[in-house]
Amino acid sequence: MISKAVRSSLLLVAAAALSSAALSCAVHGSGPTTRMAVEDSYLKKGEERAFKIRYLAKVQSLPAGTKKLQVWGPVPSSSNLQQIDDLKFAGPAEPRIGREPKYGNQVAYLEMDSPPAEAEFEMTFTCKRREAKVALDGLSDEGTDPPDSYQVFRQSDRLVIVDDEVRRRARESTEGKTGTLAKARGIYDHVMSHMSYDKSGKGWGRGDTRYACEAGKGNCTDFHALFNSMCRASGIASGFEIGLYLPYEPKKTGNWEPAPGGYRCWAAFRVPGRTWVPVDISEADRFPERADFFFGGHTANRVTLSTGRDIVLYPPQKGEPLNYLLDPYAEVDGKPHPSAKTWFFQDL
């Protein structure tokens, strides 16, 4: 564990490094020109939430004689739904901040020569999160997007596939429906009826469309993999976000509270020429009386850490693309090495 004096010094150094990095993202990598953004003009007024997050990354059991440790981790970005402030880092090495090229996610990267047997790194920040409530009645008259836009949200990923089974489900759930909004609701309802939030057995949690089709259960990653696949099979751009999820009721104790779970993910689809529309089908499964809200709504008790699947980091890792960017990722002398995260929150 780092001493308080060293921690304070590193926080200041890292904060200064981050400010510099924020001004020169083009040097450290650039993101795509299209993002999964909900347009302000379609957002209704909703609840707001303010909180602090403490994210701890730990790498343990490094082999004796290790020459280099490399660690990457997600860094949240501000948007019109979340404002990230007071972003600070602490640890035995100074990170630099870049953006991976596929989705433009911010990534913290650090490396250490001749590292100790274990190392711990900390990220803290404040988040002001806005509830997303889209005015759906304004989306029946859709427009058009450029033909080559949002391609990353139209193509298959390694586990988010479009095959004959997915096409059949998409075709049946959208039959007789006209327009993107109605088709997306048909897909949403199909996933709701087919899936149950159930983490028993093996195979859940990877966001695997084929598993979701066959098992009919899983967690949020599996719900939204099936939704993304069926949307893409129907010609609708659809994507995935992952992050941290707080309890619905704030705990204004002034103390760091333990995480209620490891993570949560959610999705969105694109109405051409208009906006992205948020959905959270696993929450609708947990709270079926709110199913209409979660088609077009996201609650404010969350923070987005990253977007997308099959991510090549910046700088690129030597291992395979990451299924999604949530936990820290480490390599020891160029080979993947286990790492883990814990996190805490404090309502403001």
Stretch 232-260: mean pLDDT, rounded?
Answer: 96
141-191 pLDDT, tens per residue?
A: 999 999 889 999 999 999 999 999 999 999 999 999 999 999 999 999 999
Q: Phi, psi (5° rounding) for residue 336?
A: -55, 140
Does 77 share its domain with 157?
no
Does 152 share its domain with 167?
yes
64-110 pLDDT, tens per residue?
A: 999 999 999 999 999 999 999 999 999 998 899 999 999 999 999 99
Stretch 38-52: mean pLDDT, rounded?
Answer: 95
Query: Who's near 136: CB < 8 A, 6+ residues apart?
Result: 181, 277, 295, 296
Does 295 share its domain with 168?
yes
End-to-end CA distance of the chain: 27
Query: Who's near 112: CB < 8 A, 6+ residues apart?
Result: 68, 69, 92, 93, 119
Alpha-carbon distance of 294 to 313, in angstroms, equals 31
Does 56 share its domain with 155?
no
pLDDT greater than 60 at residue 22: no
Domain count, the chain: 2
Alpha-carbon distance of 94 to 114, in angstroms, equals 15
pLDDT of residue 265: 97
Does 120 share its domain with 11?
yes
CB atoms within 10 A of CB 211: 21
pLDDT greater than 60 at residue 7: no
Pairing state of beta strands 217-218 and 196-197? parallel
pLDDT greater than 60 at residue 131: yes
| 93 residue type, one letter | A
Residue 71: give the domain boundaries.
Answer: 4-131+310-347
Q: Mean pLDDT of all residues in the chain? A: 91
Please report, for the domain that includes residue 74, its CATH number.
Answer: 2.60.40.2250
pLDDT of residue 325: 97
Half-sphere exposure for 145 (CA within 13 Å, toward CB): 17
Does 255 share its domain with 321?
no
pLDDT greater than 50 at residue 125: yes
CA torsion, points 289, 292, 293, 297, in degrees to nearest 10? 140
Does 178 share its domain with 74?
no
In this prediction, residue 34 has a pLDDT band, given cuts at 50, 70 and 90, of low
pLDDT greater than 60 at residue 344: yes
Does 174 share its domain with 267?
yes
243-253 pLDDT, tens per residue?
A: 999 999 999 89
264-317 pLDDT, tens per residue?
A: 999 999 999 999 999 999 999 999 999 999 999 999 999 999 999 999 999 999
Does 103 share its domain with 191?
no
Question: Token pair of 257, please?
Answer: 């509270």
Q: Which of 12-26, 194-208, 230-244 has the lowest mean pLDDT?
A: 12-26
In this prediction, residue 35 has a pLDDT band, given cuts at 50, 70 and 90, of confident
Of residues 320 and 11, more confidence is placed in: 320
Does 69 share its domain with 208?
no
Does 233 share its domain with 327?
no
CA torsion, points 247, 206, 322, 236, in degrees to nearest 10? -90
Please report, for the domain that includes residue 258, its CATH number.
Answer: 3.10.620.30
Alpha-carbon distance of 174 to 168, in angstroms, equals 10
Stretch 222-227: mean pLDDT, rounded?
Answer: 98
In this prediction, residue 60 has a pLDDT band, given cuts at 50, 70 and 90, of very high
Does 146 share its domain with 213?
yes
